[in-house]
Structure 1
Amino acid sequence: MNMPSPLRIAGVQMDVKIGDVAANRAAIVGQMSVAAAEGARLVVFPECALTGYGFESREEALAFAEPIPGPSVQTIESQCAKLGIAAVFGLLERDGDRLFNACVLVGPSGVIGSYRKVHLPFLGVDRFADPGDRPFAIQEYEGLRIGMHICYDGAFPESGRVLSLLGADVLLLPTNWPTHSECAAIHMIACRAMENVVYAMAVNRVGEERGFRFIGRSSIAGPNGEILQSASPDAEEIFYAEIDPARSRQKRLIRVPGKHEVDRIADRRPEFYTELVRPKQPQD
């Protein structure tokens, strides 16, 4: 089987105007052009980049939610087609009377896949959103196997591990990390990359919104956990990295042939992990 070519990926660390979908959408479209001009084939934006995050009620949030596909997805699809690239961005998804914190992967021909946030913290719009109701899944673009999850999902190693077992080359984590999330921003991405032998990328936002300050520090790590690129704690910026699927798919790491070889996937012992899948009890 031919291995897909390396792909240049961009993360757009941006500020977001809560409730101003038109302005946020225009910013996303504009930054896609900037990243494409630098050779990016896939451009990733923060959690709730289209809408903002700090809503104070379900009703307020629903007013800015859209279906997938919907008007904003169609606008970004048009830009993808014009530039010949793909984009991942966060939004609030409306499905009937249900509300999801979601992200969507859009390419030149439309929606490739979407994800609904599974783990919901008691924070911002997640206080009012419905928990994700779909299993983790892999989406593919230009041969790259993409695993999407959102912000708080990254605090649960099971999320990244499941996506990796499904075949992800890269774990994409759009986030809205506020103050008090510095430890996650500094350590989480390198850990998820190293333990799963994949690329891992967090794209956070900056700015202030309804009393919360967002801490930036977006980053992307390679399959051995090294940070390839990172962003500042307070500025809007775009950062880039090359993703080589061959590195993610070579799980056996040979440090000293015959003496020091590591395979964090093959060496798992699932028979000892049953407590991880014990159904949650009412007292838990």
Structure 2
Amino acid sequence: MKIAGVQMDVSLMDKEGNLTRIIEKIKETAAAGASLTVFPECALTGYCFASLEEALPYAESIPGPSTDRLQEVCRELNHSVVVGMLEQAEQGVYNAAVLISPQGVLGSYRKIHLPYLGVDRFALPGDRDFAVYAHPEVNIGLNICYDSAFPESSRIMTIEGADLIVLPTNWPAGAEHVAEHAINTRSMENGIYYCAVNRIGSERGFEFIGKSRITGTAGETLACSRGTHPEI
């Protein structure tokens, strides 16, 4: 299985523009032979919202308009994606990630561990158990960003049968040690593959550090970004 991670900048409150860029990158990675493409946390919306009221118009249901468009692309290309987004809820928003295949939405995850940063200051904590989704090529578990700092989440998904954990993330400056060591450690601890994809750029004073990586079952780095610029 060939996996692509898209380390990209994201425009705050420009869901249509972000979705267009995501679709362009899916076409690029699919043409290069990847069967799964992973995007950063909140790749559809941006992260640094100032209030819940500001974030609410950019949240949507899963399935919803954006996931429907992504499913169309996945069906056309026989491809799968993981994308970070804000999920609409009756009582607020969740910081979510969705796994989409040619057949539709395979599953979604709501971030449980919420730092006091960006939209996580206002988001609801995830209310679902850690779950593993049966992709045709691999069993996939989903986490988001700060979840990776807690080894229990990876262990639970490994016990549930995960071969690969996918982590859309928004690591800011100051998270370098997490980016450089935690992902390899989660792989080594559990004997699983791990794909962590961060964003780059700046947003309302936050600088994002890249350092996306894919790690192997012994904790080795199989691929990693070379800097804080757009990269696949």
State the distance in 2 between where 1:237 and 1:140 align.
28
State the distance in 2 between where 1:169 and 1:122 align.
31
Aligned pairs for 1:97-246 within 5 A = 97-238=91-232
User: Aligned partner of 1:123: which letter?
Assistant: L
State the distance in 2 between where 1:119 and 1:174 align.
14
- From 25, 30, 42, the equivalent of 2:24 is 30
Aligned pairs for 1:1-20 within 5 A = 7-20=1-14
State the distance in 2 between where 1:225 and 1:97 align.
40
Query: What TM-score do you get using the length of structure 1 for normalisation?
Result: 0.81
Report the equivalent of 1:39: 33
User: Aligned partner of 1:218: which letter?
Assistant: S
State the distance in 2 between where 1:129 and 1:43 align.
25
Root mean square deviation of aligned Cα? 0.7
Aligned length: 232
Check whether the contact 1:206–1:233 (CA below 8 A) recurs between aligned residues: no
Q: Once the 2 structures are TM-superposed, how far is the Cα of residue 194 of structure 1 from its aligned partner?
A: 0.4
Check whether the contact 2:52–2:92 (CA below 8 A) recurs between aligned residues: no
State the distance in 2 between where 1:165 and 1:62 align.
35
Report the equivalent of 1:280: none
Percent identity at matched positions?
53
Q: Once the 2 structures are TM-superposed, how far is the Cα of residue 96 of structure 1 from its aligned partner?
A: 2.0
Check whether the contact 1:14–1:46 (CA below 8 A) recurs between aligned residues: yes
Q: Once the 2 structures are TM-superposed, how far is the Cα of residue 95 of structure 1 from its aligned partner?
A: 2.0
- Partner SS state of residue 12, structure 2: coil
- Partner SS state of residue 63, structure 1: helix
* Structure 1 segments unaligned to the other structure (5+ residues): 1-6, 239-284
* Structure 2 segments unaligned to the other structure (5+ residues): none
- Partner SS state of residue 58, structure 2: coil
Q: Once the 2 structures are TM-superposed, how far is the Cα of residue 156 of structure 1 from its aligned partner?
A: 0.4
Report the equivalent of 1:83: 77
State the distance in 1 between where 2:90 and 2:80 align.
27
- Between 19-28 and 136-145, report the one with greater CA deviation: 136-145
Q: Once the 2 structures are TM-superposed, how far is the Cα of residue 143 of structure 1 from its aligned partner?
A: 3.4
